[in-house]
Structure 1
Amino acid sequence: MLIVFIRSIILYFVITAAVRLMGKRQIGDLQPSELVITMLLSNIVTLTVEDISIPMIMGIVPVFTLVSIDVLVSYLTLRSRRIRRTVSGSSKLIISDGKIDQKVMRELRFTTDDLMASLRAQQIFDLADVQFAVAETTGTISVCPKKSSVPPTAKDLGMTPENTNPPVMLISDGEVSTAALRFLGLDMEWLNKVVKADGASITDIFIMTAESPSKYTIIKKEKNQ
């Protein structure tokens, strides 16, 4: 049992390092080649953990071999559009000028339910509101609604609001983010002063966000009953 526990810990760090080398993607954003590599890695690690008669090196070497292949393929796809299309495929236009291309739908084996589910996920419930839609190589659908169905922007209304960065997290569960303070050009002296003025200490703060020295939000921790 102890051997299985130790092997599991070692392989956990090996897989973590391998995934970091492959890059940061959500599961739904994986290209076909990346999905294949991910599935193979999981099978290799499972065998190595379950069967202690298999040497650890027999699990580690295939993992980094597959990761090396993935990194190489990624490099080649960056250098060559032809290779990129061969490995990952290409995007397909499903809706153009508000008209559904049923031939492309059949090629991609997309059902009408798949299409409507993807539209609803982007807050579009009426096909009449869609100008065009593209099936990406990851299997997701990108949608461009018709101009008449898009809420007016400040520019459309002739307004010119100031462009500002969104608020950043300064305190999370009583811990201060020094990187966020530096980003806003603030320091601990300012932070302590603001928190004290709110009648609390830093350890009493659940969340504190700030956009500028004069614009901030403080949410205190709830007291235990």
Structure 2
Amino acid sequence: MGKRHLGELEPSEFVVAIMISNIATLPIEDTNIPLVAGIVPILALVSFEVIISSIGLRCKIVRKLVSGNPIIIIRDGVIDQKKMRELRYSIDDLLEQLRSKDVFDIADVAYAIVETTGQLSVFPKYPNRAVTNQDLNLPEPSCANSPQMVLICDGELVPDTLNYCNLREDWLQKTLEKQGVKQKDVFLMTCNQAANYHLVLRDDKKSGKKEGESA
């Protein structure tokens, strides 16, 4: 089922989740039922879900039967009432989903699509779309504006961040020595691709924050 929330589960996943929760409570409610009688069906259901999901990844027909298809319910500001009835999607549901997308006028919508998870995807009309950097002809930012990533967390090094920043461990050690601290004394250290860093020490060592940039 991955990391999705309950409201984002596919219908088959939701049914399996409900069945597992019911089966899991049976040995607890009735002590005469052996624990294995609850474990075996749960394992069978989990295996069934994994198999169906794997088949769905490879077979479009199975994926369509299990998950369904996205449905367009608004085109150029016009609601498709027939599709809404087929989906049992009320006007209150539609308006609530539109408001969650910061859309308060249906006439501003070019397309609205109900995804297989029940969520609504909204594509606004051109005059109502957010302005992008490309629209303003803004240049692409340099690496100095790259996001800060966690380099040290509670004294532990995060190697992936060194690779992201194209830095080496010797740079890190020299930087820490320059600040007069040891790695184990660092509560949090973040860094970006320009080697600009932000350093927070442990309270029991030396309170404070330090910032710096590559020389």
Which interval holds the TM-score relative to the shorter structure?
A: 0.7 to 0.9
Give the counterpart of 2:37 among 44, 53, 58: 58
| Per-residue deviation, 1:80 | 2.5
Q: Which residue in the other structure is 1:10 paired with?
A: none
* 1:37-90 alpha-carbon deviations (Å, 9 max, x no partner): 111111222223443432222122111111111122112222332222221122
Alpha carbons of structure 1 residues 179 and 76: separation in structure 2 relative to 1, 3 Å: same
Q: Which residue in the other structure is 2:65 paired with?
A: 86
Q: Which residue in the other structure is 1:5 paired with?
A: none
RMSD: 2.7
Alpha carbons of structure 1 residues 213 and 195: separation in structure 2 relative to 1, 3 Å: farther
Give the counterpart of 1:110 among 89, 106, 110: 89
| Cα distance in 2 between the residues matched to 1:129 and 1:199 | 58
Q: Which residue in the other structure is 1:150 paired with?
A: 129
**Aligned partner of 1:208: which letter?**
M
Unaligned runs of 5+ in 2: 208-215
Equivalent residue of 2:123, what SS? Answer: strand
Alignment of 1:1-225 (within 5 A): 22-162=1-141, 166-198=147-179, 201-220=182-201
Identity among equivalent positions (%) equals 42
**Aligned partner of 1:212: which letter?**
Q
**Aligned partner of 1:35: which letter?**
F
Unaligned runs of 5+ in 1: 1-21
**Structure with greater helix percent:** 1
| Per-residue deviation, 1:138 | 0.8
Q: Which residue in the other structure is 1:14 paired with?
A: none
Alpha carbons of structure 1 residues 180 and 103: separation in structure 2 relative to 1, 3 Å: same
| Cα distance in 1 between the residues matched to 2:7 and 2:74 | 22
Report how many residues are paired: 203
